[in-house]
A and B are shown apart, each in its own frame.
Chain A
Amino acid sequence: MTDAIVLRSLKKRYGTSTALAGIDLTVPRGSVYGFLGPNGAGKTTTLRILNGLAGPTSGTAHVVGHPAGSTAARTQVGFLPDVPGYYEWMTAREFLSFAGGLFGLSGPALSERVRVLLDLAGLTGVTTRIGGYSRGMKQRLGIAQALVNAPALLMLDEPTSALDPIGRRDVLDMIASLAGRTTVFFSTHILADVERVCDTVAILDEGRVVVEAPIDELTARYGAHRVVVEVDRDAESLAAALAVLPWAAAASVGGDGRIEITVSDMMDAGRDIARLVAESGRSLVRFEPGEVSLEDVFVELVGGGGGARE
C-alpha cells in the first residue's frame, strides 16, 4: 500500500533563511503521526508544502501517492491550518456544506455528512454564525471541515496550541477517535499531546528530521529507563561518579538535589547505585525507577537550540 506521505530531500528557503534543510520522511497509512518540534523548526512550512500552499525550493513531496498540492492529492486529504480562516458570516452547517460542495458532494449524501460532522464537533443545534464562536468551537469546526471528504489523510497544524485545557482535551479526543479510520498527521510542540494520541513521531529541529520512529521504539532507543536518586548529601560528586559507569547514558542533578539518571540496564544500575552510596557513607533517601518520556528524548535531541523560520 502506498505510504500516506513521502518526503525526499525536501528543502525550502526564503531568501537567505533556510526553513527546511532537506527533509526525508515516510508516514505509513493508518498511523496517528506526531510531527514534533520547537517553534520555528519548520513544521508549518512542511504542512504548507504538503497542501500546495507553498512550493519547495527542491526535493519532492508526495501525498497518498500523488504530488503534493495536485488535485488528485487534495481530493484525498483533509487539512486544518494553524490559523484557520473562516467565513464568519456563515453558520457551521453552511460552512460544512460549502466545504463538502468543494469536494463535489451534494444532495442527501452531503446533508448526512454534515449532520454527522456537526455531531462529532459538538455543534449540532448551534445556529449562531461562526464569528461568535469560541476558539475551541472554531477548532472543532476546523477538524470537522477537514473530515468532510472522509479523507485518506488528515493533516492538522498545531490543532491544540491556542486552546484552553478543556478545548484541548476535546480536540485530542476527536483525533484519538479517528485512530484506525484514517491516517492522521499532526504537528505540535506540545509533547503531552503526542504521547497521548500518536503511535509514531518525527522530531524536527532547524529544518531537519532528527529522528523518526514509533514512540515506544524511540524511548527504548534513547534509554529504556530513568532512575531518580536522592541522597542525604553531596549529590554532585555521586552524579559524577555514576555518569561514567557503562549503563549510564546521562546523569544530572536537579535544583532540588535529586539525581536523574538515564540508564540502559536497570539491574546493573540498581546494584551499582546501592554499592556506591554505601561505600561513600551517604544515606539513600530515595530510589525511584521510571520510564523515559518523550520529553526526555525530545530535550536530548533538540536541546535548547534556536530554530529556523517556521
Chain B
Amino acid sequence: MSRIACLFGKEVLEARRTWRGPTLLGVMVFCGVLSPLAALAAPALVASLTAGQPGVVIELPDPTYADSYAQWIKNLSQLGIMLVIFSSAGLIALERASGTAALVVTKPVSRAAFVVSRFAAHASLVTVATVTGALIAYGGTVAGFGQAPLAPLAAATGAWLIGAYIAIAVTEALSAVLPALASGVVSLALWGVAGVGVLWRPAVQYTPVGWLSAPGSLLAGEATHVGWPFVTAALLVVGAVALACALFARNEL
C-alpha cells in the first residue's frame, strides 16, 4: 500500500466516521429533495401569501423543470458553499490543534503529501455528495414535471463544483496558518468579495469569478465564458494547494 493511498484511505474512513461526510451528504440530499418540491409549491405559496388581500393579484406561470434546477443551484450557491467552506476550515488547522498532524508527519510521509491528500479527499467527498444531490434533484424533477433534460443540470452542477474546489483550496491554505473558525470566516468573506466581482464583466470573462455566475447562465442557456475562467481557476486551485503545502512545511508542530 503506498503511503499516499494510506493517507487517502484514512480520509475516506474519517469522512464516514465523523460529521463531515454524513453532514455534507445529508445537506446535499436535502437540497436535492427540496428543489423540485419548492418549485412545485412556489405558485401555491405565493397565492397563499396574497389571499385575502383585496386588489393584490400575483399570477405565476406554471412551474417547469427549469424552476426546479434553478432552485437546486440557488441552494448550492447559498447553503452549499457555506457548508463546503466550513467543512474545509479544519483540514489542517484541526489536525495541528489536536496533535494528529505531528503524529503523521513524524512518519516518512512528506508534509506536502499530507496537505494534498486532505484536499483531494475532501474535494472527492464534496463531489460525491453534490452529484448524489443532483441526481436526486433530477429524479424529483422528472417525477414532478414529466420531462427534464439532464444536460443543463449537469453543466450547472459541474460549474458550481469548480467553484467549490476553489473554495476548498483557498480555505485549506488559510487553515495552514489560522485556527479553523478563522479560516472559515476569512474564506467566506473572500467568497463574498468575489461575489461582488461578478458585476465586473472582465472578471467574469477571464478570472475564476466567472464560476460564480456560470451555473446560473448555463442553466439559462446564455453564452457563458468557460475557457479563461477554467484556466485561471485551475491555476488558483493548484496555487492555493501549493501555498498550503509551503505554509504547512514552515509550521512548527
Contacts and interface: CB of A to CB of B under 8 A. Distances in A.
A81 B252 CA distance: 14
B13, B100, B252: which has the most chain A beta carbons within 10 Å?
A: B252
A154 interface: no
B99 to A, nearest CB: 3
Interface in B92-110: 95, 98-110
A51 interface: yes
Given A85-B98, A102-B7, A52 B106 contact: yes
Contacts of A81: 99, 102-103, 106
Main secondary structure of the interface of B (DSSP, over half): helix
Nearest to B111: A52
B108 A85 contact: no
Interface of A: 48, 51-55, 71, 74-75, 77, 79, 81, 83-87, 89-90, 94, 98-99, 101-107, 110, 145, 149
Nearest to A75: B108
Contacts of A77: 106
Nearest to B94: A85
Contacts of A145: 103
A48 B102 CA distance: 9
A51 B102 CA distance: 9
13 contacts: A55-B252, A74-B107, A79-B106, A81-B102, A83-B99, A85-B101, A87-B10, A87-B14, A89-B13, A94-B13, A99-B103, A103-B107, A104-B2
B14 A103 contact: no
A85 B100 contact: yes
A74 B253 contact: no
B189 interface: no
Contact of B107 (A54, A55, A102): A102
B106 A74 contact: yes
A48 B98 contact: no
B252 A54 contact: yes
A72 to B, nearest CB: 8
Contact of B252 (A53, A74, A149): A53
User: Which 7 interchain pairs have the tightest Cβ spacing?
Assistant: A85-B99, A101-B6, A102-B107, A89-B17, A106-B1, A85-B100, A54-B252
Contacts of B5: 101
Contact of A90 (B6, B13, B98, B108): B13
Contacts, number: 76
Given A101-B1, A110-B1, 9 more contacts: A71-B108, A85-B99, A86-B103, A87-B10, A89-B17, A101-B5, A102-B6, A104-B1, A104-B3
Nearest to B18: A89
A98 B6 contact: yes
Contacts of B98: 85
B195 interface: no
A28 B18 CA distance: 44
B110 A71 contact: yes
Interface in B71-103: 95, 98-103
Nearest to B252: A54
Nearest to B7: A102
A101 B9 contact: yes
B3 A102 contact: yes
Contacts of B107: 74, 99, 102-103, 149
A85, A90, A106: which has the most chain B beta carbons within 10 Å?
A: A85
Nearest to A102: B107
A110 B103 CA distance: 19
Given A53-B105, A54-B253, A106-B1, A84 B99 contact: yes
Contacts of A83: 99
Contacts of A90: 13, 17
Contact of B109 (A54, A85, A102, A107): A102
Interface string B116-136: 000000000000000000000
A277 to B, nearest CB: 58
B148 to A, nearest CB: 39
Contacts of A74: 106-108
B8 to A, nearest CB: 10
Contacts of A99: 103, 107
B12 to A, nearest CB: 12
Contacts of A85: 95, 98-103
A149 B106 CA distance: 12
A62 B109 CA distance: 19
A52 B101 CA distance: 12
B240 to A, nearest CB: 24
A240 to B, nearest CB: 51
A103 B102 contact: no
Contacts of A94: 13
Interface in B6-26: 6-7, 9-10, 13-14, 17-18
Contacts of B13: 89-90, 94
